[in-house]
Amino acid sequence: MRAATQVFEGGFADTVLNSQEIFRALMDAMANPGRVISVGDLALAPSPLSPAIASIAATLLDHDAVVWCDKPVKASQDAIGWLKFHTGVELTNDPSQADFALVSDIENMPSFDSFAKGTSEYPDRSTTIILQVTGFDGSQELTLEGPGIKDNAVFAPNELPRMFIEQWAANRGVFPRGIDLIFAGNGALAALPRTTRISKKEA
């Protein structure tokens, strides 16, 4: 009975105000790549979904969105039930067909090439990948440059996809096509739009 209850509970306390708060934070993050923005725990979903990724999902996803979930999320009937109940999303097993992707296990996620990159005519028809991380004080510091960044910025999420620098360089190579990334941390979020140039921070 408790498992069934988890599916229906945990949405925003105030759907309009909370979703507006998260949406503004996401817009701020996309306009300022690498900036970590505190958002609190506004939504609560069953494991393995963290409060931050649940809040982002409740804001961005709706019945028009096609969503791919990684194995840990897909394996949780409660998490999938929560997503369907609170957002009405359509799920896909094909990441190349996804508008959004929810990734809780970054180490084992598919390569960026697996996801939709849009077309020359419609570059916006690409996948926005939402990555669940434990925080933003990781040991691998990245140097960011590009639109929305004055000079450069340092960004250090605790988890990164394998061969991240190389994968991101290839992603930027197909601009204006390409994926965008949102990082869902512990009560905070950040973003890396496809326009951002990334390199390892020099010692």
Residue-wise pLDDT tens digits, 37-66: 999 878 999 999 999 999 999 999 999 999
Per the structure block, which two tokens stand in for 139? 């040991």
What's residue 5's pLDDT? 55
Q: Which residue segments constitute the domains of the chain, with CATH numbers given?
A: 2-200 (3.40.50.11310)
Q: Which residues of the chain have pLDDT under 70?
A: 1-7, 203
65 in Cβ contact with 99 (< 8 Å): yes
Give residue 1's pLDDT.
39
pTM of the complete model:
0.94
Residue 34's nearest CA partner among 124, 155, 152 is 155
Identity of residue 126:
S
Find, among 60, 55, 133, the residue nearest to 100 by Cα: 60
The CA distance from 192 to 113, in Å, is: 17
Q: What is the pLDDT of residue 2?
A: 43
pLDDT on residue 203:
61
Phi, psi for residue 161 in degrees, rounded to 5: -60, 155
Q: Cis peptide before 72, with omega less than 30 degrees from 0? A: no
